[in-house]
Structure 1
Amino acid sequence: MARPTLLFCGLLSFLLSCGERKHIAIWEYPEISPSPEVQDYFGTTVIDSYHNLTDLEDSLVQNWFKTQDSLAETYFLNNDLTTQFKNRFHELEGRTSGEVRMIRTDEKGNYYYLRYDEDKDTDVLFYREKGGNLETELFDPSSYTNEKQNISYLEPSYDGTKIAIGFDPQEEFTSTIAIYDVINKKFLKDKITHINPDFGEIEWLPDNSGVIYLYFPFVEKSDPKYKKHSFSVVYYLGDNPEKRTPIFGWDKTLEIASDYYPKVKIGSSLDSYIVGYAAKSGIFYDSFIAKITDVKLGKPNWKPFFKASDKIYYNQGEIREQYFIYRRATPNGNELCQVEIGNPNFNNPLILATGSRENPITQFEVTKDHIYFVREKFGVEISIFKIDNQVNITQLSPPFVPGYASFFGESVAHNNIGIGMDGWTSNYIRYCINDEGDFTNESILDSPQFQEFKDLVSKQIMIYSHDGVAVPLSLVYKKDMKLESNNEVFIYVYGAYGESMSPFFSPTYLDWVKQGGILAFPHVRGGGEKGEEWHTQGMKELKYNSWKDLIACTEALIYKGYTRKGLISLYTNSAGGITAGMAVNERPELYTSFIAEVPRMHPFGLESATTASSTSYIEYGTIKDSLECLGLIQMDPYINLKQNKYYPATLLMPSNSDDRIPLWDSGKYIAKLQKYNLAETPIIMDIDYKSGHENSSNYDAAMDVNARIFSFAKSNMRY
């Protein structure tokens, strides 16, 4: 990571022991005076002790953050374990040198992908025809401009003649999309700006003549309208790049809130309809539908389609001929449904397949003649099915039982489809599925073998939480591991937005197990492991279930003899900061270290901020509702820190350029924790001054971050 260097004296003095596992520390943290703001919300007093840190333009505040970051830099420079982890991680991940990523296909089945060039330290864009083995270099970003630009987005046109290429926006919210002519191997003059693909991607028009994208008119963080009042526009190739025709969400007739994101979806070159979504935080949106012919004329006649109350997953709907096929949430594990577009009856659809609470349907895709879907048992065991035109369901037999799977290459224009699969201990492999349901290796990716991990195993156990609800807990460990109290545990938890903690293969993480530790993944409420109900039980005023599930899983690891107090490190990221942070607040003695990347540590502060440009209140609650406001206060790790307690070693890793969670969110928590902590444990904040919320760091920077995370966890184990 590129971080500013700031010299300081007297901030840190510590001596690592010869075992590199313990240290004697005297912590003198950067000083900043509290500036309390006291407010009353529905009879509850809220004290924001470090409200002054909200002013990120204040030079004193900026210097305080820079000095905090320098403290973290000094800590890791003097920690030999960080170098040891980094060297091991580089060796492990180096086996995938030249690895392919960001694989895309057009409707002809041709491939477009990035391959890392180690000599140039950049990803190069390649092309490969369907069924061929010869890859052709299309574009080397190192030769594009004098300034190095990393590719961050790809989207080919349906016919494969053009591809939209996005570049890393660095510290900016929006990026630039250029259009590359695949046939003539050159860029067109078209440039698309004021776009953030994380919020609204490029949608090619069915005839490939142009694109639709979500346009952000206000992109400066200091602007009160930042990220608000966005709308979808159509742009035709060859036009003036500043000529954008608004087609969805730009006026008030559809009554879309200014902080929502009016984006659209086109599924294939055969689509005659376009679906518009009033996107926001959460997974259920109001939607509208229009004819593509009207959209191209710039005069769409949007009609209401389905409502958020219909519980239809926004990203799980496809148009095939006159039908709309979709996945909807039910208390018993979701359903696949179908309605006629001309006369949609979402209250009484044709039900194609159903799931269960323990084994919900989590995704599906549609091809010309088939529908493929996945059931996911407790978030970690995948089963794959196919539905034919007579609605007959067949279970497919993949080469191994995956813990995670994701479809690719599908379109209603053909029957080609593939699926990528991996697990806690199984490397990621992509397979093509033929009409008979047979799997063949796609052979685009080179999946290296890791023989050192062949003796690692995984299992899932059920833990009963504070209210008797069974919570799945996934464990990864050595096959011959003994159940004894000296096992070091690294817990990774999330629990928000209905996202499941799905298995993933990571040599970096598995190295922890190879060195004798245990990986633990609690599937707490707030996630989606047991369907939408599992999510809602960890939302808003019920959010406490998330961290109490985590506490129950941690206690179970101790009770069952996997480990003991003093040997448990807790890691999370983003929204998981609430779950992990509140678990640490309530039971700090359970954890020896707490590590969080771009975390949300002060949700109440974000919802009460006058500059808030987020719809996260849909997940956490709003200060405008008495019950939800009380829930927000109760779930806020910063507000609920207590004086004179012994807290674990803490490492927060926020981003200065985070467009979702401002830097003061972590800063307030760190300032208060440094003041309140009685233990001689490091409380540090390692700030990324380059990347945003979705980390786009290069290979070396990613290894550096992981080395810091795991070395911090290891260094603070207490025997």
Structure 2
Amino acid sequence: MKTFKKLFLTNYLILLPIFCYSQEKQINQLIYPNINGEIKHEIKFGVKVTDDFYNLNDIENEKIKEWFKLQDSLAEAYFDTIESMQKYLERFKQLQNITQSKVSMITVNETGNYFYLKKDDSLGMEKLFYKQKLDAEEKELFDPNHYAIGDKEISYLKPSFDGKKIAIGFNENNDFSSKIKIYDLEAGKFLNDEITNINPDFGGIEWLPDNSGFIYLYFPEVDTSKPDFKKKSFSVLHKIGEDSINVTPIFGSDTNLEISADFYPKVKIGSSKDKFIIGYVASSDDYYDSFIAEMSDVINGKPDWKPFFKKDDKIYYDQGELRGEEFIFRQGKLKGNSLAKINISRPDFNNPIILVEGTKDDPITNFGLTRDHIFFTRSLYGANVSLFKISSGNQLTQFDLPFTPGYISFFGESLSHNNIGVGLDGWTSNYTRYIIDKKDNVQKEKLSNESEYHDFANVISEQVMVTSHDGIKVPMSLVYKKGIKKNSDNEVFIFVYGAYGESLSPFFSPIFLDWAAQGGILAFPHVRGGGEKGKEWHEQGMKNLKYNSWKDLIACTEALIDMNLTKEGLISLYTNSAGGVTAAMAVNERPDLYSSFIAEVPRLNPFGLESSNTASSTSYLEYGTVKDSAEYVGLIKMDPYLNIKPNTNYPATLIMPSYNDDRIPLWDNGKYIAKLQKYNTANTAILMDIDYDSGHETFGDYNETIRLYSKIFSFAKSNMKN
């Protein structure tokens, strides 16, 4: 996993002349490789901002590169000395042995064909399998071991509507761009079509209703070092058999549409029955502007895009589906949200036909369409999900589910039939797939054998409400072993996020549950900035109101102590990505509360995002922009790097960035670590463990994942202060 492992031990003396080590500090026998910071002052709107390590932005500088290598090698050497690291490796390998035989990436097209991956233990890789129907015989489609070196690990699947072809994605070097090949099931081979300059995380393959080709989001520049990286993207039409080098722009390249270079113009095709196609101007917001065109014109390569709904109409970007002449959608409301519909020929989004209303505490979170029915979910405080159906006669039915899930997803739905499947997940209930039959019975899909985790049989969950700094009630999920002694000796592992309107929905993770099975407590604060209570919950934790996110987290942490469940010194805090702002600011404000702070690919310097040459993002929609005087001040107040205080006792800190991260550049985390190592006065480890292979949302194989989480939990465990 690490390209530069143990360089600290071999190169430290050689590199002494390069760096200034006059400020070296020995903490826990760790010698931090320091570098002189170059200070940059900025005054805007009458406010002065000081960047102590501005020079770390130049990550291509050889001196800076070596400093990062030394930081990474120091972290690797640190984990070689932690006794609990080996214990977690062994324990998590045992859990892996229970789960690794399961199938993954199950994809069901509207014809009812099943495509999925299954690991071959003898080869150490996954093969692609196919079933014509759920109860049909299994057939092996693709064995990566028989193909060219490099095309080994499948990262994406998207079958055509008729099931005769399937797009298979590979990301062999964890680059931003994937490679998509088209496999012809009837011919039993790959076609010559090969798609590049695509990233499925930003929009994958959208097959045309007639299966003659597909549309995908094309990135003209995929080199992360170039100024136009990820910018000026547009959707293109590819017909099977045509030269993929000569792309045909279909949406977003028309200057008349006035789409920002930082936005992502992509389309969505939900069914082979679709007569229209909707183009979305995608960003990091919940709501998009959109356009609509006739499908026949798009297939002919000559679409006439007309404005459809606007951002101000508050239509959730991933929650709109076409059915005949109707458009059914989820719409944000002041006091919750609603499921509604309009007629495409007379679209009035201000006065739609309301099908069902959601509330702040119990909003509608998802829906799926079949030929005659609408299935939808509601989520009480982001943790208890219920499932409903609206029949063709507007009759409402609630389903009796096998357990109360924390998350429900739909699969296999189509306008050509009334079949639908649901995936149920929860804190203590393993993800299980079910089929809903014609009589509304919920039956297990049984595509794979279910893993049994006897060690988690007595692990339970509950949800408590915590009063935050301003009197607002914040939900917090707790997971622990039944019968645990509720006293201050319990070790707590907190996972928080709180951004982009994304709910921290319950998920079943044996690796996380192991903490509870061993006697600890897992805590999941559903802070503002997430989507647990709808759009308003998100808005109360973004831009100039971002402080609510970390103050909610602090309130939840204090509540754990007040409930006599734990005490200061026994609370580890973990987050990832945009959750870095929430978690790190809580640490800045109350460093005494936490024994350790662990963050994976975190955002720690949002203020510096727009000024960076590598920035290609719409994150300013979430955090604010330096171009607005009020948001400029808000960015300063929420920036963890800028708000590190000198001469302060900070908890043990482990920051885990990725070198190939296309969203959060390495300097973001590097500057935070450099400043924290300089200002921290406590006898605690401050480490940066860099993944030189993966990106922001790409991960290694099973063994690398096990090692990653062994580091996270061993760091949390070893820094508890009993």
Q: Same fold (TM over 0.5)?
A: yes
Equivalent residue, structure 1, for 2:349: 346
- Over residues 50-99 of structure 1, what are the superposed CA-to-partner deviations in whole Å (9 max), with x where a residue is unaligned? 11110011000000000000001101111121111011011012111221
Q: Of the candidates 486, 489, 499, which is equivalent to residue 489 of structure 2?
A: 486
Equivalent residue, structure 2, for 1:639: 642
- Give me the whole-angstrom Cα distance separating, in 1, the residues matched to 2:472 and 2:11: 46
Equivalent residue, structure 1, for 2:187: 184
Shift in Å at residue 333 of structure 1?
A: 2.1
Contact 2:374 2:389 in 1 (8 A): yes
Deviates further, 234-243 or 614-623:
234-243
- Number of residue pairs matched? 709
Q: Of the candidates 140, 156, 161, which is equivalent to residue 159 of structure 2?
A: 156
Residue 693 in structure 1 maps to residue 693 in structure 2:
no
Contact 1:27 1:680 in 2 (8 A): no
Residue 8 in structure 1 maps to residue 11 in structure 2:
no
Equivalent residue, structure 1, for 2:19: none
- Give me the whole-angstrom Cα distance separating, in 2, the residues matched to 1:3 and 1:148: 21
Residue 227 in structure 1 maps to residue 230 in structure 2:
yes
Residue 450 in structure 1 maps to residue 453 in structure 2:
yes
Matches within 5 A, 1:237-252: 237-252=240-255
Consecutive unaligned residues of structure 1, counting only runs of 5 or more, are: 13-22
Shift in Å at residue 244 of structure 1?
A: 1.5
SS at match of 1:191: strand
- Over residues 371-403 of structure 1, what are the superposed CA-to-partner deviations in whole Å (9 max), with x where a residue is unaligned? 000000000001100001121211111111111
- Give me the whole-angstrom Cα distance separating, in 1, the residues matched to 2:278 and 2:437: 29
Contact 1:235 1:243 in 2 (8 A): no
Contact 1:430 1:445 in 2 (8 A): no
Contact 2:96 2:702 in 1 (8 A): no
- Give me the whole-angstrom Cα distance separating, in 2, the residues matched to 1:400 and 1:27: 49
Residue 211 in structure 1 maps to residue 211 in structure 2:
no
Residue 395 in structure 1 maps to residue 432 in structure 2:
no
SS at match of 1:198: helix
SS at match of 2:582: helix
Equivalent residue, structure 2, for 1:102: 105
Contact 1:11 1:71 in 2 (8 A): no
Contact 1:11 1:30 in 2 (8 A): no
Equivalent residue, structure 2, for 1:272: 275
Shift in Å at residue 11 of structure 1?
A: 10
Distance 1:11 1:466, change over 3 A: farther
Shift in Å at residue 463 of structure 1?
A: 0.3
Q: Of the candidates 294, 313, 318, which is equivalent to residue 315 of structure 1?
A: 318
Matches within 5 A, 1:479-518: 479-518=482-521
Counterpart AA for 1:615: T
- Over residues 323-353 of structure 1, what are the superposed CA-to-partner deviations in whole Å (9 max), with x where a residue is unaligned? 0000011122210000001111101000001
Q: Of the candidates 424, 439, 464, which is equivalent to residue 467 of structure 2?
A: 464
SS at match of 1:334: strand
- Over residues 8-30 of structure 1, what are the superposed CA-to-partner deviations in whole Å (9 max), with x where a residue is unaligned? 35999xxxxxxxxxx98123100
Residue 474 in structure 1 maps to residue 511 in structure 2:
no
Equivalent residue, structure 1, for 2:69: 66
Residue 417 in structure 1 maps to residue 414 in structure 2:
no
Contact 1:364 1:373 in 2 (8 A): yes
Residue 50 in structure 1 maps to residue 46 in structure 2:
no
SS at match of 2:118: strand
Equivalent residue, structure 1, for 2:16: none
Shift in Å at residue 555 of structure 1?
A: 0.4
- Give me the whole-angstrom Cα distance separating, in 1, the residues matched to 2:606 and 2:9: 34
Shift in Å at residue 620 of structure 1?
A: 0.6
Equivalent residue, structure 1, for 2:125: 122
Counterpart AA for 2:335: N
Counterpart AA for 2:408: A
Shift in Å at residue 608 of structure 1?
A: 2.5
Residue 431 in structure 1 maps to residue 434 in structure 2:
yes
SS at match of 1:435: coil
Residue 576 in structure 1 maps to residue 579 in structure 2:
yes
- Give me the whole-angstrom Cα distance separating, in 2, the residues matched to 1:34 and 1:576: 26
Equivalent residue, structure 2, for 1:379: 382
Residue 26 in structure 1 maps to residue 29 in structure 2:
yes
- Give me the whole-angstrom Cα distance separating, in 2, the residues matched to 1:348 and 1:706: 49
Equivalent residue, structure 2, for 1:19: none
SS at match of 1:211: strand
Shift in Å at residue 169 of structure 1?
A: 4.6
Q: Of the candidates 697, 711, 721, which is equivalent to residue 708 of structure 1?
A: 711
Matches within 5 A, 1:316-331: 316-331=319-334
Contact 2:207 2:214 in 1 (8 A): yes
Q: Of the candidates 592, 599, 602, which is equivalent to residue 599 of structure 1?
A: 602
Shift in Å at residue 446 of structure 1?
A: 2.1
- Over residues 494-527 of structure 1, what are the superposed CA-to-partner deviations in whole Å (9 max), with x where a residue is unaligned? 0001111111111100100111100000000000
Distance 1:150 1:323, change over 3 A: same
Contact 2:174 2:698 in 1 (8 A): no
Contact 2:661 2:695 in 1 (8 A): yes
- Give me the whole-angstrom Cα distance separating, in 1, the residues matched to 2:263 and 2:560: 42
- Give me the whole-angstrom Cα distance separating, in 2, the residues matched to 1:7 and 1:321: 62
Shift in Å at residue 133 of structure 1?
A: 4.7
- Give me the whole-angstrom Cα distance separating, in 2, the residues matched to 1:464 and 1:158: 49
Counterpart AA for 2:625: T
Q: Of the candidates 570, 575, 580, which is equivalent to residue 567 of structure 1?
A: 570
Shift in Å at residue 131 of structure 1?
A: 3.4
- Give me the whole-angstrom Cα distance separating, in 1, the residues matched to 2:262 and 2:44: 24
SS at match of 1:72: helix
- Give me the whole-angstrom Cα distance separating, in 1, the residues matched to 2:587 and 2:56: 23
Q: Of the candidates 546, 556, 560, which is equivalent to residue 557 of structure 1?
A: 560
Contact 2:496 2:583 in 1 (8 A): yes
Contact 2:208 2:215 in 1 (8 A): yes
SS at match of 2:430: coil
Counterpart AA for 1:589: D
SS at match of 2:277: strand
Shift in Å at residue 137 of structure 1?
A: 0.8
Percentage of matched positions with identical amino acids: 58
Residue 112 in structure 1 maps to residue 127 in structure 2:
no
Contact 1:11 1:29 in 2 (8 A): no
Deviates further, 390-399 or 336-345:
390-399
- Give me the whole-angstrom Cα distance separating, in 1, the residues matched to 2:394 and 2:704: 49
- Give me the whole-angstrom Cα distance separating, in 1, the residues matched to 2:379 and 2:172: 35
- Give me the whole-angstrom Cα distance separating, in 2, the residues matched to 1:302 and 1:2: 48
Counterpart AA for 2:579: G
Contact 2:381 2:532 in 1 (8 A): yes
Shift in Å at residue 478 of structure 1?
A: 1.0
Deviates further, 162-171 or 476-485:
162-171
Deviates further, 412-421 or 519-528:
412-421
Counterpart AA for 1:289: I
Deviates further, 378-387 or 235-244:
235-244
Shift in Å at residue 6 of structure 1?
A: 4.5
Contact 1:602 1:639 in 2 (8 A): yes
- Give me the whole-angstrom Cα distance separating, in 2, the residues matched to 1:367 and 1:163: 22
Contact 2:6 2:76 in 1 (8 A): no
Q: Of the candidates 624, 629, 634, which is equivalent to residue 627 of structure 2?
A: 624
SS at match of 1:8: helix
Counterpart AA for 2:3: R
Equivalent residue, structure 2, for 1:544: 547
Counterpart AA for 1:191: E
Contact 2:134 2:447 in 1 (8 A): no
SS at match of 1:282: coil
Shift in Å at residue 492 of structure 1?
A: 0.1
RMSD: 1.3
- Give me the whole-angstrom Cα distance separating, in 2, the residues matched to 1:616 and 1:395: 38
- Give me the whole-angstrom Cα distance separating, in 2, the residues matched to 1:143 and 1:699: 22
- Give me the whole-angstrom Cα distance separating, in 1, the residues matched to 2:627 and 2:614: 16
- Give me the whole-angstrom Cα distance separating, in 2, the residues matched to 1:672 and 1:147: 40
